[in-house]
Amino acid sequence: MTTDAPARTQRPERFDPSTFEQKWRDRWEVDELYVARDDDPRPKRYDLTMYPYPSGDLHIGHWFAMTGPDIVARMHRMQGYNVMFPMGFDGFGLPAENAAIDRNIHPATWTFANIDTMRRQMRLMGASFDWTREVVTCDPDYYRWQQWLFLKLYEAGLAYKAMGAVDWCPKDKVVLAREQVVGTERRCWRCNTQVEKRDLEQWYFRITSYSDELLNFDGLDYPEPIKAMQTNWIGRSEGAEIDFPTEPDDVEPIRVFTTRPDTVFGATFMVLAPEHALVTVLTTDDRRADVEAYVASARRETEIERLNTEREKTGVFIGAYAVNPMTSERIPIWIADYVLPGYGTGAIMAVPAHDERDYEFARKFDLPIRYVVAPASGPLPEGEALVGHSADEVLIDSGEFSGMPAAEAIGAITRALEERGQGQFAVTYRQRDWVAGRQRYWGAPIPIIYCDEHGAQPVPDEQLPVVLPTDVDFAPTGVSPLQSHAAFLHAECPVCGAAARRETDTMDTFVDSSWYFLRYCSPHDDAAPFDRAKVDEWMPVHLYTGGAEHAVMHLMYFRFFTKALRDLGLVGLDEPTLKLRNQGQILGADHNRMSKSRGNVQAPDELVERYGADTVRAFLMFIGPWDQGGPWNPSGIDGIHRWLSRAWGAAVVTEGPADVADPETERALRRAAHVATGEVTDDIAEMHFNTAISRLMELTNALVRAREAGLAGTAAYAEAADTLLLLMAPFTPHTAEELWERRGHAYSVHTQSWPIADAALTATETIELPVQVDGKLRDRLVVTPDTPAEEIERMALASVHVQRYLGGQAPAKVIQIPGRLVNVVTPR
């Protein structure tokens, strides 16, 4: 109706972040408040959060992820640590190419423009990043050293090129590491397209050399799910390899891997993967046509979809026989697609009585089923396999091993086979080597030169970096785009100088993120990837935070890289970080992942425009546990704004002498400040930011009440208000800074010492003791902490609310938990 709203600025005490937030950010920047110096004598602390991919805009999820560790880093600084909290950009990667193709601009242009935008957005949130250490992985100054590290790994045999069946994303036209294929439906982790199998020559990192070490989490404070996922992913299985001689010619024995060598007497047939090398050798002429048809169909199947694990077993007999090394029995050799070429030895001894899959197969093709393990008491199962390993099982029909407990027989039979040279203990892993090369343009070139005479040769150090040329037609074809760039492709052999070809594959971007944390320690070093002395001083990372979605990708690769570099003598570390924490994910309001295509992305900018950065930061930290996340729901942000307004009022309006000198109220306020100090400190350390903010709200409310009670001019009030600002500083750095100044203190609140809770001041004069009867709350007693137990018991029993239940009888028992409660137990 009317448009004449009163101007907001006419009330000077009103909380209006737009009047001061930018001012303070600029000042912190100029004063280098958050720059970590190597020569600072205070104890060093390296707090790291995962750098983002420069997709172009920071959404509310980035703020959520980064504000938590920012709060921790800020508290650590105030606690007297020399904190390094760096930030950078994961500059290489497919989205840049895809965007570049869509918009007809160069990936470099797109990426660096996005980095500028995101840097600005990150500054807007008032995070305390040390921008002097910024790392951008697509910068030749960075990837030069990555190429250098690649060659170190190559020379150590930890990077190698080999032919193999690899996962291929038909949309991105790129190979994927096995970890980058997600879910039962085997989709590309990035674009969600179903992957295909292809036989290609690829670069690999020998991560499987570290499988056992990667399984060891001793001394690592990692979230349970991450440890479980990595452990599952590596998939260590202990068992035995057993050789089964073949008939008629015994060209070569078939080697199988089994976790149940105790069941070898029950192996009544063998199954090879259709791809197994011995299939063509062993197949008899009369079976050849059927076998070849089956192999062809199995190959086709893996290329199409092998989604249905519920389908009926298929397979064919190849006409040949093997000999069970324990029973000397001739057993038929089959091929079937349920035996996978990439696991174990690609061949199994089939023990249908003790394996569900073998059982199903035997029933379908009418093969013998022989139980060789039985429960110590009770009957054998009927119509199903006896699987699992219950402790009381013993062997039956197993020659001299009959009667032996199954658990014991595993070792005994393996040793027996070993003596005959037909078997040995063995360990198998599910984990595969990391496919490290990519057939795309926007990545770090792999620094290898191929000479007809001298084969693959590393690019000499002095020729690094192998710079990624800019004038490349990078449209994806499935072949590395650099192959069509003649000037790049042609090189001289480092050995003989003859015309040679450059490797045109580029590195997986996960290589970039496998060592960036080391580069932060000496980001401008132009003589080495990192300065060993500085790495020794800063590393390992004290607290690493980021998303859990990288459980078996980045979070495994960066551990592998650290261990590999250690073995090369380049670092003195076993692990990149000793403590890992994952934030939850902020979903769209529709409970789906935020994405542009769904249109559910919440940008922080408009919220900041309306409420200011501090309100947005605090709201994100308040909505729930930081490690949980959840759907975006802005209802409640007004509550945070109200809190900051109240804090503003409480901190600013302190003038005037105390109207009422009430020592008890004053003590209560002082106590509130110290209680809040202790709790906020603990909460930040445990990353319980939501409860920390609750405590800050409580302290604010205590101040407001104290002011109403006339305490505004007292020392206790001033101390509590100052404490509030110090505790708020990590959460709402701008508001704390502004109020710190308005209270007449010297700049900056962020260089003050973190307050310490005084236990003497948090103690109370009286405590309220709940009184229970049979565990149900019936009354409360107010006593001093030193009241003797007999006195408390007397008071409790005197209570009318207790007497009502006792009815004049003496209690059966009275239980006291000192300082906590009293429980009167009635006789029964």
- Give which of 60, 61, 62, 84 is closest to 72, Cα–Cα: 84
Min dist CB 597 to RNA, Å, is 18
Min dist CB 70 to RNA, Å, is 19
With binding defined as CB under 7 A, does residue 657 bind RNA? no
Rule CB under 7 A: choose which of 778, 792, 795, 799 binds RNA.
778
Burial 358-395 (b: 16+ CB within 10 A, else e): bbbbbeebebebbbbbbeeeeeeeeeebbbeeeeebbb
Residues 6 or more apart from 804 whose CB is under 8 A from it? 778
- Determine contact, residues 266/364, Cβ cutoff 8 Å: no
Min dist CB 380 to RNA, Å, is 20
Min dist CB 14 to RNA, Å, is 9
* Residue 719: both structure tokens together: 């101390």
Separation CA 750–CA 807 (nearest Å): 62
With binding defined as CB under 7 A, does residue 22 bind RNA? no
Residue closer to RNA, measured from CB, 339 or 716: 339
Min dist CB 158 to RNA, Å, is 23
With binding defined as CB under 7 A, does residue 109 bind RNA? no
Min dist CB 306 to RNA, Å, is 6
Which span (305-313, 400-408, 560-568, 711-719) binds RNA, by CB under 7 A?
A: 305-313
Q: How many CB atoms neighbour CB 467 within 10 A?
A: 12
With binding defined as CB under 7 A, does residue 628 bind RNA? yes
Rule CB under 7 A: choose which of 329, 397, 605, 698 binds RNA.
698
In the sheet that holds 776-783, the strands lie side by side as: 776-783, 767-773, 821-825, 813-817
C-alpha 326: how far from chain center: 46
**Strands of 440-576, DSSP E:** 448-451, 455-458, 490-492, 499-502, 506-507, 543-547
DSSP string, 598-666: TT----HHHHHHHH-HHHHHHHHHHSS-TTTEEE---TTHHHHHHHHHHHHHHHH---S--S---HHHH
Residues 6 or more apart from 395 whose CB is under 8 A from it? 262, 265, 372, 373, 374, 401, 402, 403, 404, 405, 406, 409
Min dist CB 719 to RNA, Å, is 21
Three-class DSSP category at 408: helix
| Burial grade of 569 (CB within 10 A; 0-12, 13-18, 19 or more) | exposed
Rule CB under 7 A: choose which of 17, 86, 346, 458 binds RNA.
346
With binding defined as CB under 7 A, does residue 642 bind RNA? yes
Which span (43-51, 79-87, 227-235, 439-447) binds RNA, by CB under 7 A?
A: 227-235
Rule CB under 7 A: choose which of 176, 207, 264, 273 binds RNA.
273
With binding defined as CB under 7 A, does residue 810 bind RNA? no
With binding defined as CB under 7 A, does residue 3 bind RNA? no
Min dist CB 273 to RNA, Å, is 6
Separation CA 499–CA 493 (nearest Å): 6
- Determine contact, residues 678/762, Cβ cutoff 8 Å: yes
Rule CB under 7 A: choose which of 182, 407, 603, 806 binds RNA.
182
Rule CB under 7 A: choose which of 145, 257, 561, 740 binds RNA.
257
With binding defined as CB under 7 A, does residue 638 bind RNA? yes
Residue closer to RNA, measured from CB, 610 or 820: 820
Residue closer to RNA, measured from CB, 75 or 464: 75
Q: Which residues in the 790-809 window bind RNA by CB under 7 A?
A: 801
Residue closer to RNA, measured from CB, 185 or 461: 185
Residue indicated by tokens 């003496």? 810
Min dist CB 482 to RNA, Å, is 31
Rule CB under 7 A: choose which of 237, 752, 762, 787 binds RNA.
237
Residue closer to RNA, measured from CB, 130 or 243: 243
Separation CA 617–CA 739 (nearest Å): 17
With binding defined as CB under 7 A, does residue 690 bind RNA? yes
Residue closer to RNA, measured from CB, 521 or 693: 693
With binding defined as CB under 7 A, does residue 752 bind RNA? no
Min dist CB 430 to RNA, Å, is 4
Instruction: Label each residue of 359-384 as H, E or C.
Output: HHHHHHHCCCCCCCEEECCCCCCCCC
Separation CA 764–CA 786 (nearest Å): 11
With binding defined as CB under 7 A, does residue 8 bind RNA? no
Rule CB under 7 A: choose which of 101, 156, 228, 589 binds RNA.
228
- Supply the Cα-derived Rg of the chain in whole angstroms: 34
Count the residues of the shown chain that bind RNA, applying the rule CB under 7 A. Answer: 84
| Burial grade of 698 (CB within 10 A; 0-12, 13-18, 19 or more) | middle
Residue closer to RNA, measured from CB, 751 or 809: 809
Q: Which residues in the 385-444 window bind RNA by CB under 7 A?
A: 428, 430
With binding defined as CB under 7 A, does residue 688 bind RNA? yes
Min dist CB 496 to RNA, Å, is 44
Residue indicated by tokens 């906020």? 680
C-alpha 71: how far from chain center: 20
Residue closer to RNA, measured from CB, 143 or 401: 401
Min dist CB 648 to RNA, Å, is 10
**What are the distances in angstroms from CA 192 to CA 165, 251, 258, 302?**
20, 45, 35, 18
Q: Which residues in the 363-382 window bind RNA by CB under 7 A?
A: none
DSSP string, 20-62: THHHHHHHHHHHTTT---TT--SPEEEEEEPPPP--S---HHH
With binding defined as CB under 7 A, does residue 90 bind RNA? no
Residue closer to RNA, measured from CB, 118 or 699: 699
With binding defined as CB under 7 A, does residue 167 bind RNA? no
Which span (84-92, 598-606, 693-701, 711-719) binds RNA, by CB under 7 A?
A: 693-701
Binding mask 553-572 for RNA (x = CB under 7 A): --------------------
Min dist CB 747 to RNA, Å, is 29
Task: Name the region of 378 (left: φ>0; alpha: ψ -120 to 50; beta: rest).
Answer: left
Residue closer to RNA, measured from CB, 141 or 698: 698
With binding defined as CB under 7 A, does residue 184 bind RNA? yes
Side chain identity at residue 506, one-letter code: T
- What sign does the dihedral 220-223-227-233 (CA atoms) show? negative
Min dist CB 455 to RNA, Å, is 33
Q: Which residues in the 322-341 window bind RNA by CB under 7 A?
A: 337-340
With binding defined as CB under 7 A, does residue 574 bind RNA? no
Min dist CB 827 to RNA, Å, is 11
With binding defined as CB under 7 A, does residue 120 bind RNA? no
Which span (115-123, 177-185, 282-290, 566-574) binds RNA, by CB under 7 A?
A: 177-185
- State which H helix or E strand residue 88 sits in: strand 86-89
Residue closer to RNA, measured from CB, 496 or 817: 817
Separation CA 246–CA 572 (nearest Å): 50
With binding defined as CB under 7 A, does residue 636 bind RNA? yes
With binding defined as CB under 7 A, does residue 775 bind RNA? yes
Q: Phi then psi for 364, rounded to 5 degrees?
A: -65, -40
Three-class DSSP category at 397: coil
Min dist CB 238 to RNA, Å, is 9
With binding defined as CB under 7 A, does residue 583 bind RNA? no
Separation CA 136–CA 87 (nearest Å): 9
- State which H helix or E strand residue 760 sits in: helix 759-762
Q: Which long-range contacts (CB under 8 A, 24 or more apart) does 398-402 make?
A: 398/265, 398/326, 398/372, 399/265, 399/326, 399/327, 401/262, 401/265
Rule CB under 7 A: choose which of 209, 424, 694, 762 binds RNA.
694
Separation CA 427–CA 258 (nearest Å): 9
